Structure 1
């Protein structure tokens, strides 16, 4: 069964950096995010690691893990939201304490998704793939991102519905700050390989392909054991997003996951929008999607609201979901089924 953390109003957010922290010139972003969340009624406890960054990480792996473990055990911290992703979270996974005393939401994406997926696969505790702290620093929050609260306040056996965004951000424009942080200018269009409406049902698992692929073959990526122990072999919907991979590397990653058995019993795959996916020798990302759909004989939906091209829907690892796409739009209905 899946264990879902519960969240009360006026919760306390613990901020730790299991991947990258912030250089001193970016510290104002942390202050802004803390202020916005406090204005919204939260208490915010900032650890030491968010304030430091050296050699592609906030601190030594054991230091990062110790602070994360402490926040997971603290009675005065209700959920954990890292400032953002990074590069080397995987270093700290062996030092994480996976004995969950009190279930707590962990919310984030990018490199953080390695911690999210490893935690859910290892413990059966649901984790939340969605916004990071720094993206909550705006005067306002766009409607898609803002639903992180609604999702995390959902309780066991309840359902929560999210819709595709109206517009997405094509590129960052830090010189012209937006009240919403993001500059949402391009029309969102969810697509399917079949070019017809699709509906997929199953348990959600996923994250950033760049990093979760490195869990294959490790103690933190045992999908088969998770399925047997926690979801009784129910079908899985994989949600995946690509940060930096070209199409050949994305294809290699998917084949590796397939050969490792990660896609056994897969009901379908949904892919987030990406600014990467550079074609290699005429091999496009649409070719990648077509190939995996044909090989696994499953529906594939792509360009959904997930990952590094915001805004993004909040996906719960372990939740039962129904993902639909039709005529450019889509919905994600998540049921917090044990």
Structure 2
């Protein structure tokens, strides 16, 4: 069964950097984000690793693991909220005692999604794939991003509905700061494979993350999807959501085939793919070609260009919830049921 944390208003949020920390020149961004949380009534406990960054990581793996472990065991902290993702969270896996993790939220995306993925697989604790802390530094958040609070404050047994964004950010414009951080100026359109643009509905237990990083636990004790499906969600179908940060279409295809060969797509009800800054075509081979082939092979619907990943804003997807996703006329509705 799935266990759901709950975020109380006024709770303490732990900020640690299990992957990349914040270099000195960007400390003002982290301070702004923490100040915004405090203005909303939360307590904020910032660890040492959040303030450092060298050689593609915030600190040596042992130090990062200890700080994360301590925060996960601290019953005064209700949410673990890394500044952002990074590159090398995978180094921590062998240094963490997941059996001692308390039932609390972890929120983020990119490299953080590997932490989310493993915690849900190994412990059956729901985890939150959504905004990074740094992206909350603005004067306000867009409607899609702002839902993270309501989603994390949903009680077990209840449901929460989210809608596709009206617009997304095509590229970062750091030289033109915005009051809400993002520059949302491209019309959002959720698309589907196998059903053309006809309405599509899929449902199942949500599971996924950044394919660049979660693929690396295939065949390890940290990526036992079969055990999760048989023993935690009692063979309910899995509705995968995946997003591509840096892979070419050929590498994306290889990764998806590996996931299929590893049995990760057994009893899969559908796949959601986030908008991607990558998906570079190889010899005319596009992401849409990849989606079409996968849909035909698995005989499941595929929805793509959803609000998930490195092209903001992001819907808050909860690993472990039973979700219903409906798409029609380019718009999407995501209903997540917090069922055991």
**Which TM-score applies when normalising by structure 1?**
0.99
Q: Please tell me whether the aligned partners of residues 207 and 320 of structure 2 are also in contact (alpha carbons under 8 angstroms).
A: yes
User: Shift in Å at residue 100 of structure 1?
Assistant: 4.1
Query: How far did residue 10 of structure 1 move?
Result: 0.5
Of 292, 295, 317, which residue of structure 2 is paired with 1:293?
Answer: 295
Q: Which residue of 2 aligns with 1:191?
A: 191
Q: Which residue of 2 aligns with 1:263?
A: 265
Shift of 1:80: 0.5
**Is 1:223 aligned to 2:225, yes or no?**
yes
Equivalent residue runs for 1:27-66 within 5 Å? 27-66=27-66
CA shift, 1:316, in A, is 0.4
RMSD (Å), alpha carbons: 0.7
1:61-91 deviation per Cα after TM superposition (whole angstroms, max 9, x unaligned): 1111100010011122111100000000000
Instruction: Please tell me whether residue 310 in structure 1 is matched to residue 315 in structure 2.
Output: no
Question: Distance between the aligned counterparts of 1:75 and 1:166, measured in 2?
Answer: 38
1:120/1:318 contact within 8 Å kept: yes
Q: Aligned with 2:32: secondary structure?
A: helix
- Count matched residues: 338
The two structures have a TM-score, normalised by structure 2, of 0.98
User: 1:179 aligns to what?
Assistant: 179
- Is the 2:168–2:311 Cα contact (8 Å) retained in structure 1? yes
Structure 1: any 5+ residue segments left out of the alignment?
A: none
CA distance in 2, matches of 1:158, 1:35: 31
Q: Does 1:141 align with 2:141?
A: yes
Q: How does 1:1-338 map to 2 (within 5 A)?
A: 1-100=1-100, 102-193=102-193, 194-195=195-196, 196-338=198-340
> CA shift at 1:101, angstroms?
5.3
Contact kept in structure 1, 2:22 and 2:52, CA below 8 Å: yes
For residue 270 of structure 2, give the secondary structure of its aligned residue in structure 1: strand
**Residue 100 of structure 1 contacts residue 123 of structure 1 at CA under 8 Å; is this kept in 2?**
no
Q: Partner of 2:264: helix, strand, or coil? A: coil
**Cα deviations by residue, 1:1-58 (Å, 9 ceiling, x for unpaired):** 0011122110110000000001100100110001111111111100000111111000
Secondary structure of the 2:38 match is helix
SS state at 2:77 partner: coil
Q: Deviations over 1:103-149 (max 9, x none)?
A: 00000000000010011001110100001110010001110000000
Aligned counterparts of 2:101 and 2:245: Cα–Cα separation in 1: 33
Does structure 2 retain, via aligned residues, the 8 Å contact 1:106–1:128?
A: yes
Paired residues of 1:204 and 1:238 also in contact (CA < 8 A)? yes
C-alpha contact 2:218 2:259 (8 A) present in aligned 1: yes
Name the CA distance, whole Å, in 1 between partners of 2:44 and 2:149. Answer: 15
Deviation for aligned residue 1:102: 2.9
Maintained 8 Å contact 2:69/2:101: no
Q: Quote the Cα distance in structure 2 between the aligned partners of 1:185 and 1:6.
A: 33
Cα distance in 2 for partners of 1:122, 1:9 equals: 28
Deviating 4+ runs (over 6 angstroms): none
Give the SS at the match of 2:98. coil
DSSP 3-state at the match of 1:33: helix
Find the aligned partners of 1:26 and 1:217 in 2 and give their Cα distance. 37
Residues 13 and 79 in structure 2, CA contact (< 8 A), matched pair in contact too: yes
Residues in 2 aligned to 1:296 and 1:242: alpha-carbon distance in whole angstroms = 20
**Counterpart Cα distance in 1 of 2:211 and 2:165:** 22
CA distance in 2, matches of 1:132, 1:81: 7
